[in-house]
């Protein structure tokens, strides 16, 4: 029996999707639930599982095709088995085995993209000098080898849907919001001492490390309660105030920046926040974030310090009205009780929509963050 493979119903906020990276070709065996192809939307990449087991009979929508819910993209001959290749002669098997072992060793030195180009051109990994980390052969290394090593190369590739969507939202924020940024600095000594003292006990009890982000999420929740305009959004001529804090945490993924949401962060403890962030980071890395994970949000926190950023002006994530930027922790001299001391300092930034957030509120919000981080006992005691 032939079964049609159809695109599942897409969420209401998603009009269509793009097929990327078919994992099977016609004639291949497939198992029920095995990923056939990735569906890339404006927000996330979804896997398209096989509805039944059998043989992929036909692909009707190729890589790069735009599809909507219900579209047929392939057919599977249910219950069929792919034709097995003819058995190799014993002598040929022996000869192939050393070659396969050598190729396997060489392949470890190639990136996946470089391996594909090298295989198509019949180039062995050992023939190409690698410029990557540990001598790894990159795609450009293979291209330069094929070009004789004396040509300047360029590559034109289309933007992914996610990257295009990120670009659109960033431009939208700059064009449609009266965005300003205010800065402050935070002495991280108290938080660092607290983490060092209780880290082992925290891990033993909760199975996750106590990071800086949970302190900033907790501090942001308290600051948002004190300055509700920072947690609000503009809708036409109205301002929507939220009595809950759905905090977006900016996470880097192989396909770009994504912002999964910690729902009702005002109800979460430190361990809940750390486990939530760890879970989202893993999903972002393997591409399993769902659209629902990134929908909504009333405020965002981004940590450029993980990449070594000293200071930045983060761009708000519409329709939100504020975003908190964390940065690198650097030991530098400060004045403390009339003395110059060395302290671990972090610059923090709040970008905000000046249409609904006044400068007084923006500055007050950052001051509240600063005070809570520099005296973290207030977070624990809810003071």
Identify whether 327 is a catalytic site residue.
Answer: no
Distances, alpha carbon 33 to alpha carbons 5, 48, 54, 71, 176, in Å: 12, 8, 11, 19, 43
* Cα 156 from Cα 85, distance rounded (Å): 38
The one catalytic residue in 83, 279, 358, 375 is 358
Are 67 and 6 a contacting pair, CB within 8 Å?
no
Distances, alpha carbon 142 to alpha carbons 105, 131, 136, 252, 343, in Å: 17, 10, 11, 28, 48
Reported as a single tens digit per residue, the pLDDT across 70-87 is 889 999 988 766 655 544
The predicted pLDDT at position 99 comes to 43
Domains by residue range for the chain, with CATH: 2-78 (2.40.50.100), 112-147 (4.10.320.10), 163-380 (3.30.559.10)
List of residues 6+ apart from 258 with CB closer than 8 A: 43, 44, 162, 250, 251, 284, 289, 294
The one catalytic residue in 28, 172, 354, 375 is 354
Nearest to 22 by CA among 47, 57, 52: 47
Reported as a single tens digit per residue, the pLDDT across 156-194 is 777 777 777 777 777 877 788 889 999 999 999 999 999
Nearest to 161 by CA among 12, 298, 15: 15
Reported as a single tens digit per residue, the pLDDT across 102-118 is 444 455 467 667 777 77
The predicted pLDDT at position 12 comes to 62
Which of the two residues, 243 and 122, has the higher pLDDT score? 243
Identify whether 358 is a catalytic site residue.
Answer: yes
Reported as a single tens digit per residue, the pLDDT across 18-57 is 888 888 889 899 998 888 888 887 667 777 888 999 999 9
The predicted pLDDT at position 123 comes to 75
């Amino acid at each position: 029996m032939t079964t049609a493979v159809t695109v599942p119903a897409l969420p209401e906020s998603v009009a269509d999707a793009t097929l990327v990276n078919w994992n099977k070709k016609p004639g291949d065996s497939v198992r029920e639930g095995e990923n056939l192809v990735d569906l890339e939307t404006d927000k996330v990449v979804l896997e398209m599982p096989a509805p039944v087991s059998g043989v992929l009979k036909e692909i009707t929508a190729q890589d790069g095709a735009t599809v909507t819910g219900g579209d047929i993209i392939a057919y599977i001959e249910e219950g069929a088995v792919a034709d097995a290749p003819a058995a190799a002669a014993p002598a040929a098997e022996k000869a192939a085995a050393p070659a396969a072992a050598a190729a396997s060793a060489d392949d470890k030195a190639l990136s996946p993209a470089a391996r594909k180009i090298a295989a198509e051109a019949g180039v062995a990994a050992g023939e190409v000098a690698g410029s990557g980390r540990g001598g790894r052969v990159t795609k450009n290394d293979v291209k330069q080898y094929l070009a004789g090593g004396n040509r300047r190369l360029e590559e034109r590739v289309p933007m992914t849907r996610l990257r295009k969507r990120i670009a659109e939202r960033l431009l939208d924020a700059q064009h449609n919001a009266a965005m300003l940024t205010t800065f402050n600095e935070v002495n991280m000594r108290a938080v660092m001492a607290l983490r060092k003292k209780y880290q082992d006990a925290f891990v033993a009890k909760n199975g996750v490390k106590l990071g800086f982000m949970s302190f900033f999420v907790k501090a942001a929740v308290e600051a948002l309660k004190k300055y509700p305009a920072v947690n609000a959004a503009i809708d036409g001529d109205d301002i929507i105030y939220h009595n809950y804090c759905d905090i977006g945490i900016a996470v880097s993924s192989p396909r770009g920046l994504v912002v999964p949401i910690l729902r009702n962060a005002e109800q979460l403890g430190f361990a809940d926040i750390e486990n939530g962030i760890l879970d989202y980071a893993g999903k972002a890395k393997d591409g399993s974030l769902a659209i629902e994970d990134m929908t909504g949000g009333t405020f965002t926190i981004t940590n450029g310090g993980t990449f070594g950023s000293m200071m930045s002006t983060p761009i708000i994530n519409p329709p939100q009205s504020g975003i908190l930027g964390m940065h690198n922790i650097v030991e530098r001299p400060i004045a403390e009780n009339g003395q110059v001391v060395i302290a671990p300092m972090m610059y923090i930034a709040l970008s905000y929509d000046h249409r609904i957030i006044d400068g007084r509120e923006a500055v007050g919000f950052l001051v509240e963050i600063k005070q809570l981080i520099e005296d973290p006992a207030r977070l624990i005691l809810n003071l």
